[in-house]
Amino acid sequence: MITDKTQYWQEMAEYDLETAEAMFQTRRWLYVGFMCHQVVEKTLKAYWCATRPNDPPYIHNLKRLAEGCGLDSEMTEVQIDFLAEMMPLNIEVCYPSHKEQLAKALSPERCREMIRKTKEMKLWIDNRL
C-alpha cells in the first residue's frame, strides 16, 4: 500500500538517482557511489513503509533493511552481492582515512556500472510496491 511515507522515500530516492547522474557528469566519482547507496537505502525504506506497520529503522545497512522488510528472501545472489558492494560507500565517504582509498577504486567505468545496477535494483523494488 502506497502511503505518504512510501511516496516520500520514493521521491527522495529518485532525487538521489538524479544527483548520482549529475555527479557522474561532473566526474565526482566518490559521490556517485554515495548517492547510489542512498538510492538503494531509500527505495528499501519505501518498500518497508508500504509493507510494514512500523517505520523503517534509522540505519544505513542495506542488508539489514532488506532482511527487515522481507525482500532479502526474494533477491537473487547477484542482488545480495550488490547490496554488499554498496555498503562501504555510505560510511567510508565520511571518513578522510578511507576517502582517498575509496576514491581510487571508483573509476568512471565502475561508476557507470554502479548507476546501471542501482537503477535495476530500484526498478525491481518499485515493481513490488
The architecture that CATH gives domain 4-126 is Up-down Bundle (1.20)
Cβ atoms of 51 and 70 closer than 8 Å: yes
Alpha helices in the chain (DSSP H): 4-25, 29-51, 62-68, 77-86, 88-91, 96-105, 108-126
Instruction: From first to last of the 129 residues of the chain, give the pLDDT tens digit.
Output: 677 999 999 999 999 999 999 999 999 999 999 999 999 999 999 999 999 999 999 999 999 999 999 999 999 999 999 999 999 888 655 666 667 777 778 999 999 999 999 999 999 999 999
Closest CA to 111 of 33, 26, 17, 25: 33
> What predicted TM-score, i.e. pTM, was given to this entire model?
0.93
